[in-house]
Amino acid sequence: MRVRIEDVAEAAGVSMKTVSRVLNQEPNVSEETRKRVEAAARKLQYRPNPSARSLAGQRSFLVALLYDNPSSNYLMEVQAGMLDACIAHHYNLMLAPVTYGERKFLAHVDEIIQHSRADGLVLTPPLTDHPGLMKRLGQLGIPYANISPKLRGGRIGVVLDEERAVREMMAHLVSLGHRRIAHIKGHPEHGASQWRLNGYRDGLAAAGIAYDPELVIDGDFHYDTGAICAQRLLLMADRPTAIFAANDDMAAGTIRTASEMGLSIPGDVSVCGFDDTPIARQIYPPLTTVRQPTREMGRLATHELFKRIKAPDGGQMITAGYELQLRQSTGPIGKGRTRRR
Amino acid sequence: MRVRIEDVAEAAGVSMKTVSRVLNQEPNVSEETRKRVEAAARKLQYRPNPSARSLAGQRSFLVALLYDNPSSNYLMEVQAGMLDACIAHHYNLMLAPVTYGERKFLAHVDEIIQHSRADGLVLTPPLTDHPGLMKRLGQLGIPYANISPKLRGGRIGVVLDEERAVREMMAHLVSLGHRRIAHIKGHPEHGASQWRLNGYRDGLAAAGIAYDPELVIDGDFHYDTGAICAQRLLLMADRPTAIFAANDDMAAGTIRTASEMGLSIPGDVSVCGFDDTPIARQIYPPLTTVRQPTREMGRLATHELFKRIKAPDGGQMITAGYELQLRQSTGPIGKGRTRRR
DNA sequence: CTGTTAGCGCCTTCAG
DNA sequence: CTGAAGGCGCTAACAG
């Protein structure tokens, strides 16, 4: 029924092993033999059996994406990027959702690794900063790549210079005349929250604006939280003229709240976010934000992972590029015509 | 190094096969033996080798999600539902993106199936209605389940009574006094587009309102398209007082356009969508829509798939429930105070 | 109820 | 540069 390597060998008049060599691009095959084998394989429509390959070769040709419920847009982009890389390397992508705070978190991860036999993992924040996980993965000796990890020492994956990106964004706001700029922080577990806060503070400092703790509020990257935080900020007697939310979802929540309060954007208050997820263009007004090349980051991280799978010390930490997206949610100060309801 | 089934057998003082029986929950093992084997397996921390199981057992314990780039929210929900089912059945979930219109579409699908050795597939629209794909999958004899397929005969999966849902939505609009109700259609390739259009027409008929082709515009489920279609509708001399967009993304685009035109929602125009994706609550005003239990549908489809994997005639077509979500984007007719810019 | 015997299809030795 | 034998870890089919 199914065509096996043996059939190809027979058709090509060589041994199984020679076919195997050709298929796996191993050396020590004469050009002529190679061609003959390839022709036979094509004619018979031969497809290697992954299970057999895995069993004999001790690898699964599977990588798993380990994640803990980040925003769906973010995750989809990461997935797409990983798929780009996986397809190019003839690997398959498996999904492995976990729960960071769970009691048996590590046991669960063990389970996944054992059960899937993935050759490697890609971690998204905040898993990428879970100390116990790092350690466990090291013990198990399973290769993994990190997306936007806090700690970069001796690890592979991809990061963005988020601090610098935020400094640029702050410079943009300052150039529009804003000096009373608020910040809604991200989830405390994510490295990004810290970087973006740092960028905010640096941006203020660069403009000679004093840091005012009242203008900095704890968020968690969620839309609803953004909406709530914005309310606190916009109800202040001396309300900020600009709000930098640590991601687009919270910025969208901010805009939502401002709209409900009858405030004009950017007339009464400018709002900006980070990530450039689809929501940035799907709200009104469209959001000024930093474009984070999430898909590309997924691809790059997976690419580094493959390098490490091949060699125990392969791969490195890559820095991806960002881009400011100036849209209509930010504008010059004081052009507003408040229309409180 | 790794503990094998043989080690467990030795530790428990039984044969390999008996251990295998216990692990696979097969019958014909005495309770006492079973306990002994389970204890031994636990003590040794035994984990079966999936590759070996696959090779010997002719199944991969893998299901693949075949999709063609629908909205990320939709896909994430489907994924989450599938994962719920997969985890419960000790299966793994693999991602298999394809391109519907591609030249070598079928060859690509073949490739995926051969290369992944998935035991079954779940198809999302519009793949679920691709005639060539259906046929090919039938030839290959690979089990698959469908989410929201147009044709239901002899197939398994899950559907929603979308026509009925839309009829209810139309009744809601009519009850608010609307009679001039427009519709932005979905992507022609999706069954949902037809159902939602049918529901729209039925809803009009039920209210004794004549169908006006001018008020029905071709869309494709995308946000931007919704925005463009809305412009055409809202610039009409005798513009509609309500717009039913075939999904939330297009409804969001509609609201965007209305906002830009300075129209008040729902004062000047009511807008409603379908799906209840996160965007429905993330725009302002929040969207009246039909809640489609996408995650649950992913779970149910996968569940039916497992039944079919077990038995060639197992599984069936399930009907999932919906729920109207009445929010602030719809309201009584004529309460608006237009403020064109 | 339990055990034995063959593979599943490929890759890894190690000879030639 | 090529091939023959053995085994990866498990399960199916058959015996008992």
Pairwise CA distance, residues B127 & B129, whole Å: 5
- Shared-domain flag, residues A149 and A232: no
Give yes or no for residue A181 having a pLDDT over 50.
Answer: yes
pTM value is 0.92
Of the ranges A284-298, B33-47, B296-310, which one carries the lowest mean pLDDT score? B33-47
Give the pLDDT mean for B23-42: 86
CA A235 distance to own-chain centroid: 34
- Shared-domain flag, residues A41 and A77: no
Output the CA torsion sign for A12, A18, A23, A27: negative
Nearest CA to A127 out of A147, A104, A143 is that of A147
Compute the half-sphere exposure of residue B55: CA atoms within 13 Å on the CB side of its CA.
16
Domain count, chain A: 3
- Shared-domain flag, residues B166 and B287: yes
Distance from residue A56 (CA) to nucleotide D2 (C1'), in Å? 21
A122 bridge partner residues = A65, A145
Give yes or no for residue A100 having a pLDDT over 80.
Answer: yes
Pairwise CA distance, residues A225 & A186, whole Å: 10
pLDDT of residue B336: 54
- Shared-domain flag, residues B179 and B280: yes
Of the ranges A151-155, A232-236, B156-160, which one carries the lowest mean pLDDT score? A151-155
pLDDT of residue B69: 79
- List the domain range (segments joined by +) for residue A258: 162-292
Q: Is residue B329 part of a domain?
A: no
Q: Is residue B137 part of a domain?
A: yes
- Name the residue type at position A120: G
Bases on strand D under 7 Å from any protein CB: 1-13
Name the residue in chain B with its Cα closest to that of A59: B51
Q: Is B160 helix (H, G, I), strand (E, B) or coil?
A: strand
Within 8 A by CB and 6+ apart from A10, the residues are none
Helices A105-116 + A131-140 axis angle, to 10: 30
Pairwise CA distance, residues B218 & B211, whole Å: 15
Q: Is residue B281 part of a domain?
A: yes
Within 8 A by CB and 6+ apart from A103, the residues are none
pLDDT of residue A138: 92
pLDDT tens column, B138-191: 999 999 999 999 988 889 999 999 999 999 999 999 999 999 999 999 999 899
pLDDT of residue B1: 59
Phi, psi (degrees; rounded to nearest 5) at B216: -115, 120
Q: Is residue A332 part of a domain?
A: no
- Shared-domain flag, residues B106 and B173: no
- Shared-domain flag, residues B203 and B248: yes
Pairwise CA distance, residues B317 & A8, whole Å: 42
Of all residues in chain A, the percent with pLDDT exceeding 70 is 98
Residue A317's CB is within 10 A of a number of other CB atoms, namely 17
pLDDT of residue A153: 86
Of all residues in chain A, the percent with pLDDT exceeding 90 is 74
Give yes or no for residue A171 having a pLDDT over 80.
Answer: yes
Give yes or no for residue A341 having a pLDDT over 50.
Answer: no
- Shared-domain flag, residues B9 and B31: yes
- Shared-domain flag, residues A35 and A108: no
Give yes or no for residue B334 having a pLDDT over 80.
Answer: no
- Shared-domain flag, residues A198 and A315: no
Give yes or no for residue B335 having a pLDDT over 90.
Answer: no
Give yes or no for residue B340 having a pLDDT over 60.
Answer: no
Residue A102's CB is within 10 A of a number of other CB atoms, namely 12
What is the H or E stretch that residue B50 is in? helix B50-57
CA B74 distance to own-chain centroid: 6
pLDDT tens column, B292-313: 999 999 999 999 999 999 998 9
Q: Tokens for B158, please give them.
A: 């899950």
Give yes or no for residue A307 having a pLDDT over 90.
Answer: yes
Over chain A, what is the mean pLDDT? 93
A285 bridge partner residues = none
Q: Is residue A338 part of a domain?
A: no
Cα Dmax for chain A: 87
Measured CA to C1', the nucleotide nearest A57 is C11
Give yes or no for residue B285 having a pLDDT over 80.
Answer: yes
Residue B153's CB is within 10 A of a number of other CB atoms, namely 6
Give yes or no for residue B337 having a pLDDT over 80.
Answer: no
- Shared-domain flag, residues A50 and A64: no
Q: Do B79 and A95 touch (CB under 8 A)?
A: yes
- Name the residue type at position A263: L
Pairwise CA distance, residues A323 & A318, whole Å: 17
CATH number for the domain including A40?
A: 1.10.260.40
pLDDT of residue A152: 87
Give yes or no for residue A1 having a pLDDT over 70.
Answer: no
D13: residue with closest CA to C1': B17
Give the pLDDT mean for B87-105: 94
Over chain B, what is the mean pLDDT? 93
pLDDT tens column, B188-214: 989 999 999 999 999 999 999 999 999
Question: Which pLDDT band holds residue A335 (cuts at 50, 70, 90)?
Answer: low
Is strand D within 7 Å of residue B90 (CB)?
Answer: no
- Shared-domain flag, residues A223 and A287: yes
In residues, how long is chain A? Answer: 341
Give yes or no for residue A122 having a pLDDT over 90.
Answer: yes
Give the pLDDT mean for A314-334: 96
Name the residue in chain A with its Cα closest to that of B57: A51
D6: residue with closest CA to C1': A56
B70 bridge partner residues = none
Q: Is residue A337 part of a domain?
A: no
A·B CB contacts under 8 A: 107
Q: Do B93 and A95 touch (CB under 8 A)?
A: yes
Bases on strand C under 7 Å from any protein CB: 1-5, 7-13
Give yes or no for residue A33 having a pLDDT over 90.
Answer: no
More confident residue, A98 or A69: A98
CATH number for the domain including B211?
A: 3.40.50.2300
pLDDT tens column, B243-284: 999 999 999 999 999 999 999 999 999 999 999 998 999 888
- Shared-domain flag, residues A236 and A298: no
